[in-house]
A = this chain, B = another copy of it.
Amino acid sequence: MINKKINIAVIGLGQVGNYLLNELNTKKKDIELKTGKKIEIVAISAKNKNKKRRFKINKSIFFKNPIDIIENKKINILFEVIGHSDGISKKIVETALKNKIHVITPNKALIAKHGDYLSKLAEKNKVNLEFEASVAGGIPILRTIKEGLATNKLIRVYGILNGTCNYILSEMEKTKDSFKSVLKKAQSLGYAEPENPKLDLNGYDAFAKIRILSSLAFNKKISKKNCLMEGIENLEYKDIEIASQLNFRIKLLGITELINGKLFERVHPSLVKKDSYIGNVNGVMNAVIVEGKPIGESVLQGEGAGPGATSSALMSDLLSILRGNIKYPFGIPDIKRKKSLSYNEKVSSNSLYLRLEVKDKPGVLSEITKLLANNKISIERVIQIPDHKKKSASIIIITHRALEYRSQNLINSLKRNKNIIKKPVQIRLF
């Protein structure tokens, strides 16, 4: 990048893209001061040219078809802020890289799915592919792993990676409202997708981030295997309340670690102690904890999403490129990144919180405890809360550590039991 004037294109002008555009426009001087480079936004594109936006757009540089931009304008750096895992997002990024254009994107779905292919393409064409904003926007976690902790041997990375879920769980605790009604509130505040919040709630979004973190932390190819992925859709206020009485909070955790050299990635609701660090990360905040040698434990916390935090990360990628910083998208050359061996999650073990809604009649508890015994799962604690009106009861069981395959067998037999009147709720202790 010898020329001093850098041509920039922004594709996608939703909340994030529009905010980013304003940042780029208002911080040109600061960017020049820090990098010695002048930037100019020469092209923008989005689905809808005339949509009402927070910051006005310059319609004279608007392109209907983003691919035209790559063909017609001498772009140096392109921001892809559309967000699909495939389709037009992939097409744009691919075409840009092939045309030796640096790409910056917050698109975790795209990177988690096609990151290996795209990073190889970037290396081949000697341009950067940067995606700091794809994981925990307000936390510069990717840069921290690639640079700040560069020579540490990392063992485990985990945290709260989905602001939507964390907001819903915190708000349920605070207001005692139901999952449904808090979800509606989250949607009205812009913390959850208005039309299809499923990918946040079922753990998919956090899992994409975990895949990206794994590959960076352990210098491996992105894993394709689906290990444990559970969301928060089945939790009720009741679970939050009971957890609280037991001095726990429920958090959706994403965890990746190497166990005997094998990769174990998972996302699921977890009971964490109320007085632990992670138990006190509330609302839309994200937190990531990195464990390694010689660093010990490093903790990073910040806003996980929203246009401001995401733009902050996109801008840090821009400055990194303008300063001529590192080129390997995943920290080491693509050719050196090996496939990771998968840990067999069935032999992992956890203590479990189980909530069973049962008919209030004699012998039920005995039936249930027998099922646990059959699966060699021992009980630490049992609480039975009767509901005389409904002639039912909630049975809460905290187990000692149990092997995952045994827990799964147990849950299956519990589901078949006729005295259990609702789908059993299972939360792992962290």
Interface, chain A (partner B; CB < 8 A): 19, 23, 27, 30-31, 33-34, 132, 138-140, 143-144, 147-152, 219, 275, 277, 280, 287, 293-303, 307-309, 311-313, 315-316, 318-320, 323-326, 328, 331-333, 336
Contact = CB atoms under 8 A, between A and B. Distances in A.
A311 B299 contact: no
Contacts of A33: 219, 332-333, 336
B34 A150 contact: yes
A151 B302 contact: no
Contact of A147 (B295, B302, B303, B320): B320
Contacts of A275: 280
B293 A297 contact: no
Contacts of A296: 138, 302-303, 308-309
A151 B308 contact: no
B300 A300 contact: yes
B299 A295 contact: no
Q: Number of copies of this chain in the oligomer? A: 2
A407 to B, nearest CB: 32
Contact of A34 (B19, B140, B331): B331
A300 B296 CA distance: 14
**Chief secondary structure at chain A's binding surface:** mixed
Contacts of A328: 34
A149 B316 CA distance: 6
Nearest to A31: B151
Contacts of A298: 138-139, 300-303
A151 B336 contact: no
B308 A297 contact: no
Q: Which of A151, A299, A307, A313 has the largest count of B CB atoms less than 10 A from its CB?
A: A151
Contact of A138 (B277, B287, B295): B295
Contact of A295 (B132, B312, B326, B336): B312
A323 B327 CA distance: 9
Contact of A151 (B30, B139, B325): B30
A149 B312 contact: yes
A151 B318 CA distance: 10
A307 B275 CA distance: 29
5 contacts: A143-B144, A147-B147, A277-B280, A280-B280, A295-B302
Q: Which of A149, A150, A333 has the largest count of B CB atoms less than 10 A from its CB?
A: A150
A303 B309 contact: no
Q: Which of A30, A312, A333 has the largest count of B CB atoms less than 10 A from its CB?
A: A312
Enumerate the 4 nearest inter-chain pairs by beta-carbon distance, A residue then B residue, closest first.
A140-B148, A294-B308, A299-B301, A298-B302
